């Protein structure tokens, strides 16, 4: 029962956060001279006619608080505005862009959790072995590299040579699962690795450290003394305790994940939310940016709630506070 109360509290906090972000975004974008705003909303190619149309459509001449009210109203009804530049409503654009981003995020997350946790566990259990030392170096390199560098190097070293030898399975750009799973994986493999690489390094280091600390605890000695097999000791007792900091790190990383998504999409031309938003900056296309900001905030809040719930499930102490 306590968990329902916790959930409700988190949802309320989440709604407040999204509202705050939307408000901040609104005032940042709209609290400027009317012409500047109108021009950005209308898009680069806009004629003075279109600009005036925009001003009257969106009521940009009205007092700022009235505009704010309309803005909130629109949000609640799921209307994120209209991109004059591309002649599309922002929500439909975003819906188009969702599949690549979602595929990237989910696949990447699975990959880095698997890689990070397993390498971390093996390193901890075989501390100071060759494997451990090697993985420490790899981790350090991984931590040092920007995501886009990894992406570019992968393209240079994997995609280009393969391509030149006629192997086209690995490819840039996005191809949905509906168009063939094989093709899907071929397009997504390098992006997944790129997204996962840096994060895997972080999680490897985290898991290794936590597991080493936990394995040194007395209750582990007791478990061994009881005669449990080593594998049982490590997984049942050691890993469970080491998981909680990993989950809480996930919560922090959700935010950084968006950054990674934007970069990876740009490097591999996946055309998801991230890449579209970056292009929108070049195009001075304000409505898309606003839509992206709010969607991103929503995503962060929801993801954090999920992470907190998982954390609460793992660690009973959390629910009581």
Partner 1 sequence: MSITEVEFEARGAEEAQETSAKVEGRSQWQLTWRRLRSDKVAIAALIVVLIMIALAIAAPAFAAITHHPPNTAYPDTGEDAAGNPVGPGVNGFWLGTDGTGRDLFVRILYGARISLFVGVVTTFIASAAGVTIGLIAGYFGGIIDTMLARFTDAVLAFPYVILALALAVVFGPSLPIIMVVITFFSWAGIARIVRGQTLSIKEKEYIEAARSLGAGPFRIMFLDILPNLLAPVLVVGTLYIPQAVVFESTLSYLGLGIQPPTASWGNILADAQNFYQTSWWYVVFPALALLITTLAFNLLGDGIRDAMDPRTERVLAMRRQRRRDRKRQKAAPDGPGAALPDPVRP
Partner 2 sequence: MAGDDVLVRVENVVKYFPVKAGGLVRRTVGHVHAVDDVSLVIERGKTLGLVGETGSGKSTLARCVAGLLPVTSGRVIFDGHDITNLSRGAMRPLRREIQMIFQDPYSSLNPRRRVGSIIGEPFAIHKTATGAERKRRVQELMERVGLNPEHYNRFPAEFSGGQRQRIGVARALALRPKLIICDEPVSALDVSIQAQVLNLLSDLQQEYGLSYLFIAHDLEVVRHVSDKVAVMYLGRIGEAGPKDSLYGQPRHPYTVALLSAAPAADPDTAAARQRVLLTGDVPSPISPPEGCRFHPRCPKAMPLCSAEEPGLLPRAADAAADTASGAAPDPARAGALVAGGDTHLTACHFPVAAGENLAAAGSRELA
Q: In the complex, what is the shortest distance from the CB of residue 2 to partner 2, in angstroms, rounded to a whole number?
A: 11
Can you spell out the DSSP letters for 17-31? HHHHHHHHHHHHHHS
Which listed option, partner 1, partner 2, none, makes contact with residue 98 (CB within 5 to 8 Å by class)? none
**Contact between 197 and partner 1 (CB under 8 A)?**
no
Can you spell out the DSSP letters for 250-306? HHHHHHHHHHHHHHHHHHHT--SHHHHHHHHHHTT-HHHHHHHHHHHHHHHHHHHHH
Residue identified by tokens 């007092």 is 63
**Contact between 94 and partner 1 (CB under 8 A)?**
no
Binding piece for partner 1, criterion CB under 8 A, among 2-10, 24-32, 225-233, 236-244: 24-32
What string marks each residue from 282 to 321 as x (binds partner 2 by CB under 8 A) or -?
Answer: --------------------------------------xx
Binding piece for partner 1, criterion CB under 8 A, among 56-64, 145-153, 187-195, 238-246: 145-153
Q: What is the crossing angle of helices 181-215 and 90-125, to 10°? A: 40
Cα–Cα distance between 60 and 70 in angstroms, integer? Answer: 11
Q: For residue 43, what are the CA distances in angstroms to 87, 145, 280?
A: 10, 36, 10
Residue identified by tokens 């393969």 is 162
Q: In the complex, what is the shortest distance from the CB of residue 5 to partner 2, in angstroms, rounded to a whole number?
A: 9
Q: In the complex, what is the shortest distance from the CB of residue 31 to partner 1, in angstroms, rounded to a whole number?
A: 10
Cβ-contact 118, 112 below 8 angstroms: no
**Closest by alpha carbon to 316, among 265, 241, 257?**
241
Q: Any residues with CB less than 8 A from the CB of 193 and at least 6 apart, and which?
A: 111, 150, 154
Name which of residues 224 to 283 contact partner 1 (CB under 8 A): 251-252, 254-259, 262-263, 266-267, 274, 277-278, 280-282
Name which of residues 2 to 31 contact partner 2 (CB under 8 A): 9
Q: In the complex, what is the shortest distance from the CB of residue 263 to partner 1, in angstroms, rounded to a whole number?
A: 6
**Closer residue to partner 1, CB minimum distance, 110 or 160:** 160
> φ, ψ for residue 82 (rounded to 5)?
-135, 135
Residues that bind partner 2 (CB under 8 A): 9, 320-321
Binding site for partner 1 (CB under 8 A): 17, 25, 28-29, 32, 40, 140-141, 143-149, 152-153, 155-156, 159-160, 164, 251-252, 254-259, 262-263, 266-267, 274, 277-278, 280-282, 284, 286, 289, 292-293, 296-297, 300, 304
């Amino acid at each position: 029962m306590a968990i329902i109360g916790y959930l409700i509290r988190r949802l309320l906090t989440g709604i407040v956060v999204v509202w705050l972000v939307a408000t901040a975004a609104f005032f940042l974008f709209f609290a400027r001279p009317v012409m500047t705003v109108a021009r950005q909303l209308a898009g680069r190619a806009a004629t003075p006619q279109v600009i005036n149309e925009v001003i009257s459509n969106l009521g940009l001449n009205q007092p700022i608080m009235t505009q704010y009210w309309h803005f909130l109203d629109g949000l609640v009804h799921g209307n994120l505005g209209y991109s004059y530049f591309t002649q599309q409503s922002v929500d439909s654009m975003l819906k188009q862009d969702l599949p690549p981003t979602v595929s990237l995020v989910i696949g990447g997350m699975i990959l880095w959790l698997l890689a990070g946790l397993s390498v971390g566990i093996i390193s901890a259990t075989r501390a100071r072995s060759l494997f451990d030392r090697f993985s420490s170096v790899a981790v350090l390199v991984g931590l040092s590299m920007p995501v886009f560098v990894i992406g570019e190097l992968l393209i240079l070293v994997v995609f280009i040579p393969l391509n030149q030898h006629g192997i086209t399975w690995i490819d840039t750009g996005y191809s949905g699962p509906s168009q063939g799973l094989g093709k899907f994986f071929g397009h997504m493999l390098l992006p997944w690795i790129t997204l996962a690489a840096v994060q895997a390094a972080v999680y490897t280091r985290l898991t290794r450290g936590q597991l080493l600390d936990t394995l040194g605890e007395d209750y582990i000695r007791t478990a061994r003394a009881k005669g449990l097999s080593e594998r049982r000791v490590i997984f049942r007792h050691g890993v469970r305790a080491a998981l909680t900091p990993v989950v809480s790190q996930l919560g922090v990383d959700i935010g950084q994940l968006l950054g990674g998504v934007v970069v990876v999409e740009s490097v591999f031309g996946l055309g998801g939310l991230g890449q579209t938003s970056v292009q929108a900056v070049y195009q001075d296309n304000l409505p898309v940016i606003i839509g992206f900001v709010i969607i991103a905030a929503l995503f962060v809040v929801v993801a954090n709630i999920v992470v907190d719930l998982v954390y609460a499930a793992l660690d009973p102490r959390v629910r009581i506070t």
